[in-house]
Structure 1
Amino acid sequence: MSKSEIEREITRIIHDNNGVVDNLSIIHDELRKSHPSFDVKQYGFSRISSFIRSFGTFKIKDNVVQLK
C-alpha cells in the first residue's frame, strides 16, 4: 500500500468523523481493518503519530488528529 493511498484513507477517516479524530488509535485501527498487514515500521516509523505527521497534511495535538 503506497503512502499516497494511506494519506487518502486517513483523510477519509477524518472526514467521516466530522473533521476530527479524537484518538490516533482510531486511525490505526481503521487502517489495520482495511489492510491487516499494515505496519508503520514498513515505512520506517516506530510510532503511528510520527508516521501521520510525516505527510504534512495532518495536525496532531494531544492525540487528536485533524487536517491542517
Structure 2
Amino acid sequence: MNATEARDMTPDELKDRLLQLRKEQFNLRFQQASGQLEKTARISEVRKDIARIKTILGEKTRAN
C-alpha cells in the first residue's frame, strides 16, 4: 500500500487496515521466533505500512 491509496481511504477503512496489519505483524513475529519465517523483509514492510497509516490517520484528524 502506498500513501496515495491510503489517503483515498476513509478513517474507518484505515482503522480496519491498521488492525489487519497489526495482526499480521503479530503472526510474523511468532513465525520468526519459531524459525518458520521465509520472507523476513515482510516484517519491515508491515512496520512501514503501519507507520504510514498512523501518519495519515493523524493528518485526517488534524484536518477536521
Smaller-chain TM-score bracket: 0.3 to 0.5
Report which of the two has the higher share of helix: 2
Which structure has the larger Rg?
2
